[in-house]
């Protein structure tokens, strides 16, 4: 069977196949959760489909796999009583209906077999508890005991059971509430919001990985500020990103104020989210000003300054990533670099833009110069339309110059046009500090525009430089 045909058959029949398999082993079975929710919302139907069955989930998964063309593998997670089938680009997850009870210090419940109703009760939100029957007697019927459809229409996140217990049982749900509110642009029902605020401390029993997963989803939403604002209002932010919360507020000394860098940051994040889906660039926007809290000073003559905040901020990025167990790899280095360089194009754009300044920018930013420009454009949050136009226009000039300079000088991923070996050979040198000095001088001459980035010009320059250092050219 061709791939295309296979996929079609699968999409059309998957629920029928599950239905037949369930009937054969005599288990009530339903589609539940995200798939049903997104189906009614008209969102892209998700590729992961949750199936709940009253009985043994693993047995059902095995039966379904037998019936599928190409008989895919069943991954069994015995400890959880769940099983998963990857079929094409779909992920089918099977679970036996369960009843859960929680203990105080863990978000891992004690699990017993239960009815569909028990299983719907344990779900986090009414909109996630919707189930569609796959049973022959009422195939396709919607089972909606908590009026989840109504909440979908009204755009409300509400818990099936009492909010206080729901969030206390599994505090990850606090993050999920805020994440769904952000992704779907829904309101969290007031009682829920109050319960989250009251229990914010319990976020500490949730693993960093799960928290960060939700933070990423908030950051990838069309308007991340919805979630960031909710994190602030509920008090969760002070556990998760205290560096960000420290930017909140405006101080006034001798009649001089500075802008509120928290709300400014949220605007920057929303701005950049219109231009890029790059998660890490969005994180860079979120963290670009965190160095401003610890570097803030008031000077009688010049007013408020945040001297060196970019450098301090980039150091803070490391500590923040480490604390949240985020990857300490090239992603983090990218965020650090964006934070460290976040003012460079702005300084450029304020002045007359020289070629050498642009060459230095491209040299330092390397392949990330375009991302840096996107960040700086998003950083313009002035409400003065005249100023906004001027800044954007200046950045256009910078962008134009970047293209020109790059075409001419190729400094983006700078490779020295003269190698250390050539220098050693030219002056009969052993490895020594002169080589470094000459190399640095060549690089400087290129960035300053004294010589083009070419071998011959750099070679001549090297001979001259060597002489000024008192070196003698070799005879050969």
| Binding region for Mg ion (CB under 5 A) | 34, 48
Among 123, 337, 344, 360, binds ligand ATP (CB under 6 A): 123
Among 17, 30, 33, 269, binds ligand ATP (CB under 6 A): 33
The Cα–Cα gap between 299 and 420 comes to 48
Min. distance of Cβ 219 from Mg ion in angstroms? 18
Min. distance of Cβ 182 from Mg ion in angstroms? 16
What interhelical angle do 355-365 and 433-448 show, nearest 10?
130
Q: Which residue has the tokens 């700086």?
A: 376
Among 29, 53, 126, 128, binds ligand ATP (CB under 6 A): 128
Give me 405's structure tokens: 């300079």
Q: How many CA atoms lie within 13 A of 37 on its CB side?
A: 23
Binding at 124: pick from Mg ion, ligand ATP, none (beta carbon under 5-8 Å per type): ligand ATP
Residue list 142-201, contact with ligand ATP (CB under 6 A): 170, 172-173, 176
Cβ neighbours of residue 200 closer than 8 Å, sequence gap 6 or more:
174, 234, 235, 236, 239
114 binds ligand ATP per the rule CB under 6 A: no
CB-CB contact of 113 with 140 (8 Å) = no
Question: Residue 75, Cβ neighbours under 10 Å: how many?
Answer: 13
Burial of 274 (0-12, 13-18, 19+ CB in 10 A): exposed
Min. distance of Cβ 178 from Mg ion in angstroms? 17
Specify the stretch interacting with ligand ATP by CB under 6 A; choose among 46-54, 136-144, 397-405, 419-427: 46-54
Min. distance of Cβ 50 from Mg ion in angstroms? 6
Among 17, 54, 124, 458, binds ligand ATP (CB under 6 A): 124
Binding at 377: pick from Mg ion, ligand ATP, none (beta carbon under 5-8 Å per type): none
87: Cα separation from own chain's centroid: 28
Cβ neighbours of residue 216 closer than 8 Å, sequence gap 6 or more:
279
Size of the site for ligand ATP (CB under 6 A): 12
The Cα–Cα gap between 104 and 437 comes to 64
Q: How many CA atoms lie within 13 A of 172 on its CB side?
A: 16
The Cα–Cα gap between 130 and 39 comes to 11
119 binds ligand ATP per the rule CB under 6 A: no
Q: Which residue has the tokens 């205290």?
A: 242
Which of 48/460 has CB closer to ligand ATP?
48
Min. distance of Cβ 33 from ligand ATP in angstroms? 3
Which of 170/434 has CB closer to ligand ATP?
170
CA dihedral 230, 232, 234, 240 (to 10 degrees): 110
Specify the stretch interacting with ligand ATP by CB under 6 A; choose among 120-128, 261-269, 275-283, 437-445: 120-128
Min. distance of Cβ 128 from ligand ATP in angstroms? 3
Which of 48/454 has CB closer to Mg ion?
48
34 binds ligand ATP per the rule CB under 6 A: yes
Closest residue to bound ligand ATP by CB: 34
Residues in touch with ligand ATP (CB under 6 A): 33-34, 46, 48, 50, 123-124, 128, 170, 172-173, 176
């Amino acid at each position: 069977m061709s791939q295309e045909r296979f996929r079609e058959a699968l999409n059309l029949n998957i629920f029928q196949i599950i239905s037949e398999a369930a009937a054969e082993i005599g288990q009530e079975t339903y589609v539940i959760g995200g798939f049903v929710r997104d189906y009614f919302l008209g969102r892209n139907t998700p590729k992961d489909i949750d199936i709940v069955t009253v009985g043994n989930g693993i047995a059902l998964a095995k039966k379904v796999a037998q019936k599928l063309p190409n008989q895919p593998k069943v991954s069994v997670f015995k400890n959880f009583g769940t099983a998963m089938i990857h079929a094409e680009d779909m992920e089918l997850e099977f679970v036996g209906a369960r009843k859960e009870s929680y203990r105080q210090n863990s978000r891992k419940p004690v699990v017993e077999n239960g009815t569909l109703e028990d299983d719907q009760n344990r779900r986090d939100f009414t909109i996630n508890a919707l189930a569609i029957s796959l049973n022959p007697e009422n195939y396709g019927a919607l089972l909606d005991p908590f009026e989840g459809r109504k909440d979908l229409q009204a755009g409300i996140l509400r818990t099936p059971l009492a909010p206080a217990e729901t969030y206390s049982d599994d505090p990850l749900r606090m993050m999920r509430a805020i994440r769904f509110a952000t992704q779907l642009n829904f309101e969290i029902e007031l009682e829920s919001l109050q319960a989250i605020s009251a229990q914010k401390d319990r976020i500490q029993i949730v693993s960093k990985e799960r928290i960060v997963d939700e933070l990423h989803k908030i950051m990838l939403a069309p308007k991340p500020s919805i979630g960031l604002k909710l994190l602030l209002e509920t008090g969760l932010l002070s556990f998760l990103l205290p560096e960000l919360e420290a930017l909140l507020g405006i101080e006034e000394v001798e009649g001089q104020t500075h802008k509120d860098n928290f709300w400014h940051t949220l605007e920057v994040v929303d701005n950049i989210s219109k231009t890029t889906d790059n998660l890490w660039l969005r994180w860079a926007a979120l963290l670009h000003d965190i160095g401003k809290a610890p570097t803030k000073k008031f000077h009688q003559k010049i007013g408020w300054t945040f001297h060196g905040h970019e450098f301090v901020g980039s150091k803070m990025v490391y500590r923040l990533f480490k604390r949240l167990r985020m990857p300490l790899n090239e992603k983090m280095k990218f965020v650090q670099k964006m934070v460290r360089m976040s003012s460079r194009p702005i300084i450029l754009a304020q002045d007359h833009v020289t070629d050498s300044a642009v060459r230095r920018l491209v040299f330092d930013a390397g392949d990330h110069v375009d991302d840096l420009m996107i960040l700086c454009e998003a950083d313009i949050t002035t409400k003065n339309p005249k100023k906004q136009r001027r800044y954007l226009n200046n950045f256009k000039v910078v962008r134009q110059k970047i293209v020109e300079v790059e075409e001419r000088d190729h400094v983006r991923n700078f490779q020295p046009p003269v190698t250390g070996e050539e220098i050693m050979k030219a002056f009969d040198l052993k490895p020594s500090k002169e080589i470094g000095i000459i190399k640095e001088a060549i690089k400087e001459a290129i960035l300053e525009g004294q010589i083009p980035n070419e071998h011959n010009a750099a070679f001549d320059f090297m001979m001259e430089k060597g002489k000024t250092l008192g070196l003698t050219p070799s005879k050969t």
